[in-house]
């Protein structure tokens, strides 16, 4: 009956194949019977049958059935994806191939150390955060309001009763959408939050 040796990688110790063993000439001669020659990175221990996506690794004197994380991908906090180069699981967030092929910062986020799809609420929150950072010059704001309702700068300033707010408004070179004063003045002029968002995105008010 043929005797086989089972070879494994010198770097990863994973099973790479089997072949019929050669005779160890000295030991076979001494014992008078066939003694297999076991080269480096080989064993007579037969590896187990493993499932797809797993790998047999020779550790110590036995085979271990491990998940092969080279079939997975690592994702960082910016949702950048890299291939995993090791059999063992690395530190960080691991995702499968299907998710790795479609993941992007517009549709996914990291939550509780997992990659999850963004909800409609998430998208709206991000939209508001983005718009809050938009700015317009004083000229752009005054011109847009005048074109929409023929409201002059003096008429706008007349809506501001708080002295500090008036100074802030009067002497600012540009206005940011996220400034609460913009909502306060806009409401007095008959504009809601969506109208003001439109103004800062388009430099004009909706008709």
Give, for 4, the enclosing helix (H) or strand (E). Answer: strand 4-8
pLDDT digits (tens, 9 = 90+) for 9-36: 999 999 999 999 999 999 999 999 999 9
Burial of 191 (0-12, 13-18, 19+ CB in 10 A): buried
pLDDT higher than 90, residue 195: yes
Kindly state the average pLDDT of the residues 159-185: 93
pLDDT of residue 125: 94
Question: Is the pLDDT reported for residue 203 higher than 80?
Answer: yes
Mean pLDDT of the region 155-184: 93
What stretches of 11-138 adopt beta strand conformation (E)? 15-20, 42-43, 54-59, 62-67, 73-75, 81-83, 93-95, 108-111, 114-117, 135-137
Provide the pLDDT for residue 77: 92
DSSP calls for 149-184:
H---HHHHHTT---HHHHHHHHH-SEEETT-HHHHH
**Mean pLDDT value of segment 104-120:** 95
Position 2 scores a pLDDT of: 87
Position 1 confidence tier, pLDDT thresholds 50, 70, 90? confident
- Mean pLDDT calculated for residue range 104-125: 95
Q: Which of 159, 166, 185, 158 is nearest to 195 (CA)?
A: 185
pLDDT for res 43: 97
pTM score over 0.75: no
Taking alpha carbons only, the member of 10, 39, 46, 41 closest to residue 22 is: 39
Task: Answer yes or no: is pLDDT of 74 > 90.
Answer: yes
- pLDDT, position 91: 94
**pLDDT score at 11:** 95
No. of H helices and E strands in the chain? Answer: 8, 12
pLDDT of residue 48: 95
Q: Is the pLDDT of residue 207 over 90?
A: no
């Amino acid at each position: 009956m043929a005797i086989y040796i089972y070879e494994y990688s010198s770097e990863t110790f994973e099973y790479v194949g089997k072949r019929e063993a050669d005779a160890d000439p000295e030991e076979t001669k001494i014992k008078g019977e066939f003694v297999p020659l076991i080269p480096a990175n080989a064993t007579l221990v037969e590896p187990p049958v493993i499932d797809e996506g797993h790998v047999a690794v020779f550790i110590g004197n036995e085979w271990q059935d491990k998940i092969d994380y080279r079939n997975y991908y690592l994702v960082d906090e910016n949702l950048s994806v890299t291939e995993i180069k090791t059999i063992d699981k690395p530190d960080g967030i691991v995702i499968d191939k299907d998710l790795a092929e479609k993941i992007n910062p517009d549709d996914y986020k990291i939550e509780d150390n997992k990659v999850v799809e963004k909800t409609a609420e998430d998208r709206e929150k991000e939209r508001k955060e983005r718009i809050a950072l938009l700015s317009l010059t004083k000229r752009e704001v005054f011109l847009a309001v005048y074109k929409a309702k023929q409201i002059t700068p003096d008429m706008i300033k007349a809506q501001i009763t708080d002295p500090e707010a008036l100074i802030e408004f009067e002497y600012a070179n540009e206005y940011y959408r996220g400034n609460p004063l913009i909502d306060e003045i806009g409401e007095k002029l008959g504009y809601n939050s969506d109208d003001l968002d439109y103004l800062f995105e388009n430099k004009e008010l909706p008709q």
